[in-house]
Amino acid sequence: MNHFLDIHKTDPDALEAMIAAADRMKAARGDRPRGAPDDEQPLAGRMVALIFEKPSTRTRVSFDVGVRQMGGQSMILSGTDMQLGHGETISDTARVLSRYVDLIMIRTFDESVLAELADHATVPVINGLTDRSHPCQIMADILTFRELRGPIAGRKVVWSGDGNNVCASFLHAAAQFGFDLTFTGPVQLDPEAEFVGLARKAGRTVEIDRDPARAVAGADLVVTDTWVSMHDSQSNRERRHNMLRPYQVNAALMEAAGPQALFMHCLPAHRGEEVTSEVMDGPQSVVFDEAENRLHAQKAIMRWCLDV
């Protein structure tokens, strides 16, 4: 069963094959209209369930469009549409959905929901995001970097801000794709020690530097994410802003990184908070390339899961 649950749980050769497949499928589409089908229709006759306990723009649209481009059909389900873990156990939901669909993607809060769904499903399950990781986003980021700078192996990635779920998946990817990562942010928001240790055990250099200008020196890639969640209280928002303000990605920080450094953000961005509009719209920013590449990377992931 080819579940795609986390980057560090997926064989490095399989990850490389997915990136290569995404690149090929993107090139094969050329300039055709977005709604036009791919020449290959590997998902013809297949049904994909897309479950969203968390709201989404990019994940929802990119998976839905990707399924359709490859000839399949998608069924979009929200948390309010289902009894996931409430009126029905997650394991029972997994067994039932497996009788109806060929593939399940879930975007949820608690990692345990994803794990239990995968344990009991008899079809592949894809992690569309949990509070602990976001592997599909990082696959798109790796694809984007490769398009513009070549392989990411041996490069320096700097994460500035909150060591959150996206940062965690970058650490997973450091171990599997062979790059080094420097985290710069407040000590209260350091990435999980388990994931730092995982990358170091794989032979990668992972550094924590509280000085953002020093941390980004010589970076090939600078990455950040939002400082606050949509569910945070006003008091928590203010506290986090105060902690994270020194780690804003602005023109001065990108100048300290150097002209070779790309800037990435998984979006949505709070312009003027974690990143300035000058950087978002500047020549080093590739945020909209990343957003597009969610489509191509996820198509490759779905094909790998279904072995088609």
Q: Give pLDDT tens digits for 133-152.
A: 999 999 999 999 999 999 99
| 3-class SS of residue 10 | coil
Confidence at 198, pLDDT banded by 50, 70, 90: very high
| Both tokens assigned to 134 | 């976001």
Kindly state the average pLDDT of the residues 28-53: 96
Please give the mean pLDDT across all residues of the chain.
Answer: 96
Q: Which of 124, 65, 37, 146 is nearest to 307 (CA)?
A: 124
Q: How far is Cα 134 from Cα 132, in angstroms, rounded to an integer?
A: 7
CA-CA distance, 205 to 179, in Å (whole number)?
Answer: 8
- The candidate with the shortest Cα–Cα distance to 291, out of 271, 261, 266, is 266
Q: How confident is the model at residue 85 (pLDDT cuts 50, 70, 90)?
A: low
- CA-to-CA distance for 39 and 256, rounded, in angstroms? 45
Q: Cβ neighbours of residue 173 under 8 Å, at least 6 residues apart?
A: 7, 138, 142, 179
Structure pTM?
0.96
pLDDT at position 80 is 78
Spatial separation of the C-alpha atoms in residues 236 and 234, rounded to whole Å: 5
Q: Which residue has the higher pLDDT, 254 or 55?
A: 254
Per-residue confidence (pLDDT) for residue 8, from 0 to 100: 98
- Residues noted as catalytic: 107, 134, 137, 225, 266, 294
| Residues 150-159, mean pLDDT to the nearest whole number | 98
pLDDT at 235: 79
